[in-house]
Amino acid sequence: MIPRDKRQAPQRDLLETYLEDILNPRHELVQMGKRIDWTACEQHFGQLYAVQAGRPGLPIRLHVGLQLLKHMYALSDRDVLDRWVENPYWQHFCGEVIFQHRLPMDETTMMRFRHRIGEGGACELLKMSIALGQDTGVIAPESLKVAVIDTTVMPKAIAYPSDARLAGRCHRQLVALAKDEGIKFRQTFCKGLPGLVWQVGRYAHARQFKRMHKVLRRMHRNLARICEAIVDQRTMEERSERLNHKLHQALQLLNQYGDRTVKPRLYSLHEPEVVCIAKGKARTRYEFGSKVSVVTTAKEGFVLDCQALAGNPYDGHTVDTALKRVLLHTRKMPEHLLADRGYRGSESTYLSRIHITGKRRGRGRAHPDQQHRRNSIEPIIGHLKSDGLMYRNFLRGFTGDTIHAVLCGVGLNLRKVLRKLVELLWPYENGRHLRLILAILWSTPALPDESAETGKLLAV
């Protein structure tokens, strides 16, 4: 049912602690909460709820505020709820009037809200963060003319895929599902699986690869016998959907072992959409997750789009989609797009002028100044992973990848807005402003070029 916000009390209670009495109104979170258009969020996300069916949901501002706080401070669902109870500024940011001493919801409620809004709702929050950046002066209007694009890898929360571990785990799961449906086996081969997995690891550590593959072939033969017994006793229509899915994974593991030409490959049983991406890094040759396309402004490094891509597409084939999403988020198409040599072949697009760094002649050649600004996106990607939550994605499925990537961009934008609000609201850390305050207090004449700023400080 549509959430109803009844937190505004008609009159004050003498025994309650009101947040506006204990908070600093110049705090950056308080000022950000005033600048965000919560009414537009409620109107947009309120359409996702039933009109009269079911129990009324929690306030939409509470849901949206918790998602924003999570990605601003790079916390898990449980951690952000625990800190929300302790922090009055966070409660005020989420629309509370009276200080609360209990958890507002369970972490599974946050998960269901993310599934409810989907990637479209996350893009609405990204639009809101871009509008907030323009309102606070973090990005100038002319900065939207020049953008930078690059791709990175968002690793998935999976174990490192090895043939022995995947075959052993799939073997045990397949036997358990088959027994639940009444399938009987002559021999399940489950008792010796831990020893075989241990043997493979020891042989690999000793670099005895012939012995290692001999044990691996034995594991795959045992798995093939289990698959044959299931197929012989149950037809496809008689088997459940879960058993058919696990049987398909087992057959895929048998097919891809020893044959590198088999595509796509299975790297995780619970996350089959995971792909292997090689980015040429010396420390990590291969990363397992999803590729993410990031578009930022060339001057401020403000995120304009952050999109998870299905599979491992060529970077040059993702330019048109990224530019169209930037147009939806900002209502302006970038006139110039700076890219690295991984985007060669995309200079022919009609949406914007693509400038490839390192290209010396022909169409798409970058100016030296533009080539220097192309590198500005690299630290932004580093901040998305180190300061944000893009270092490891714990959300399930490709839908979780798309939502998580966009919300990571929202979190980085809001951190930039918070720093800008600190500079605007607390400018006295600068020695120049401290000299102006002293001039006001002791009635000493200020410098001629500081007369305008003195008037502003007096007004504050």
Residue 430 predicted with pLDDT over 60:
no
Better-scored residue on pLDDT, 113 or 53: 113
Residue 137 lies inside a defined structural domain of this protein: yes
Better-scored residue on pLDDT, 11 or 58: 58
User: Percent of the chain scored above 90 by pLDDT?
Assistant: 70
My answer on whether 406 and 289 are in the same domain is yes
Residue 185 lies inside a defined structural domain of this protein: yes
Say what the pLDDT of residue 454 is: 39
pLDDT (average), residues 241-267? 93
Amino acid at 450: E
Q: pTM for the whole thing?
A: 0.86
378 is in which domain, residue-wise? 128-158+276-421
Number of domains the chain contains: 4
Say what the pLDDT of residue 369 is: 64
Letter string b/e over residues 276-293, b meaning 16 or more CB atoms within 10 A of that residue's CB: ebeeeeeeeeebbbbbbb
Say what the pLDDT of residue 300 is: 92
My answer on whether 359 and 247 are in the same domain is no
Task: Check if the beta carbon of residue 267 is closer than 8 Å to that of residue 281.
Answer: no
Residue 426 lies inside a defined structural domain of this protein: no
Residue 8 predicted with pLDDT over 50:
yes
Residue 118 lies inside a defined structural domain of this protein: no
Residue 431 predicted with pLDDT over 60:
no
My answer on whether 199 and 57 are in the same domain is no
My answer on whether 404 and 443 are in the same domain is no
Distance CA 410, CA 374 (A): 21
Say what the pLDDT of residue 361 is: 63
pLDDT (average), residues 96-109? 92
My answer on whether 280 and 154 are in the same domain is yes
Residue 119 lies inside a defined structural domain of this protein: no
Residue 456 predicted with pLDDT over 50:
no
My answer on whether 282 and 142 are in the same domain is yes
My answer on whether 281 and 387 are in the same domain is yes
Residue 324 lies inside a defined structural domain of this protein: yes
Q: How far is CA 89 from CA 23, 79, 266, 283, 288, in A?
A: 7, 16, 45, 40, 38
My answer on whether 176 and 239 are in the same domain is yes
My answer on whether 48 and 150 are in the same domain is no
My answer on whether 327 and 382 are in the same domain is yes
Tens of pLDDT, residue by residue over 362-410, are 666 666 666 678 889 999 999 999 999 999 999 999 999 999 999 999 9
Domain boundary (266, 295, 326) is at 266
Tens of pLDDT, residue by residue over 166-198, are 999 999 999 999 999 999 999 999 999 999 999
Say what the pLDDT of residue 413 is: 96
Better-scored residue on pLDDT, 74 or 372: 74
CATH number (domain holding residue 338)? 3.30.420.10
Q: What is the CA radius of gyration of the chain?
A: 28
Residue 441 predicted with pLDDT over 80:
no
My answer on whether 146 and 101 are in the same domain is no
Categorize the per-residue pLDDT at 439 as very low, low, confident or very high, splitting at 50, 70 and 90: low
Mapping DSSP onto H, E and C, the string for the chain reads CCCCCCCCCCCCCCCCCEHHHHCCCCCHHHHHHHHCCHHHHHHHHHCCCCCCCCCCCCCHHHHHHHHHHHHHCCCCHHHHHHHHHHCHHHHHHCCCCECCCCCCCCHHHHHHHHHHHHHHHHHHHHHHHHHHHHHHCCCCHHHHHEEEEEEEEEEECCCCCCHHHHHHHHHHHHHHHHHHCCCCCCCCCCCCHHHHHHHHHHHHHCCCHHHHHHHHHHHHHHHHHHHHHHHHHCCCCCCCHHHHHHHHHHHHHHHHCCCCCCCCCCCCCCCCCCEEECCCCCCCCCEEEEEEEEEEECCCCCEEEEEEECCCCCHHHHHHHHHHHHHHHHCCCCCEEEECHHHCCCCCCCCCEEEECCCCCCCCECCHHHHHHHCCHHHHHHHHHHCCCCCCECCCHHHHHHHHHHHHHHHHHHHHHHHHHHHHHCHHHCHHHHHHHHHHHCCCCCCHHHHHHHHHHHHC
Categorize the per-residue pLDDT at 326 as very low, low, confident or very high, splitting at 50, 70 and 90: very high
My answer on whether 412 and 284 are in the same domain is yes
Run of H or E residues at 295 = strand 287-297
Residue 4 lies inside a defined structural domain of this protein: no
Average pLDDT, the chain: 87
Length of the chain: 460
pLDDT (average), residues 284-298? 94
Residue 1 lies inside a defined structural domain of this protein: no
Please state, as a whole number, how many other Cβ atoms lie within 10 Å of the Cβ of residue 459. 6
